[in-house]
Amino acid sequence: MITTLVREEQTVKPDIQVQKEEVFQAKSFNLWYGEKHALKEIDFKIAENEITAIIGPSGCGKSTFIKSLNRMVELVPSVKMTGELLYRGKNILDHKFGVEELRTRVGMVFQKPNPFPKSIYENVVYGPRIHGIRDKKILNEIVERSLQGAALWDEVKDRLNENAFGLSGGQQQRLCIARCLAIEPDVILMDEPTSALDPISTLKVEELVQELKENFSIIIVTHNMQQAARISDKTAFFLNGELIEFNKTSAMFSNPHDKRTEDYITGRFG
Ligand X SMILES: Nc1ncnc2c1ncn2[C@@H]1O[C@H](COP(=O)(O)OP(=O)(O)OP(=O)(O)O)[C@@H](O)[C@H]1O
Binding site for ligand X (CB under 6 A): 33, 36, 38, 56, 58-64, 76
Contact 218, 234 (CB under 8 A): no
Task: Name the binder of 58 from ligand X, Mg ion, none, CB < 5-8 A by kind.
Answer: ligand X
For the beta carbon of residue 210, count every other beta carbon within 10 angstroms: 15
Residue type for 55, please? I
Q: What distance in Å separates the CA atoms of residue 66 and residue 47, rounded to the nearest whole number?
A: 15
Q: What are the beta bridge partners of residue 37?
A: 32
Q: Given the rule CB under 5 A, which of 44-52, 63-71, 126-134, 151-159 is the region that contacts Mg ion? A: 63-71
**Closer residue to Mg ion (CB): 221 or 231:** 221
Residue 93 beta carbon to ligand X: minimum distance, rounded to whole angstroms: 17
The answer to the question of residue 64 lying near Mg ion (CB under 5 A) is: no
How distant, in Å, are the alpha carbons of 127, 180, 184, 268 from that of 120? Answer: 13, 13, 18, 43
Task: Name the binder of 76 from Mg ion, ligand X, none, CB < 5-8 A by kind.
Answer: ligand X
The site that binds Mg ion (CB under 5 A) totals a number of residues, namely: 1
The answer to the question of residue 63 lying near Mg ion (CB under 5 A) is: yes
Residue 17 beta carbon to Mg ion: minimum distance, rounded to whole angstroms: 35
Q: What are the beta bridge partners of residue 22?
A: 47
Residue 266 beta carbon to Mg ion: minimum distance, rounded to whole angstroms: 22
**Closer residue to Mg ion (CB): 63 or 171:** 63
How distant, in Å, are the alpha carbons of 12, 48, 71, 122 from that of 88? Answer: 20, 10, 15, 31
Contact 193, 109 (CB under 8 A): yes
Which residues of this chain interact with Mg ion, rule CB under 5 A? Answer: 63
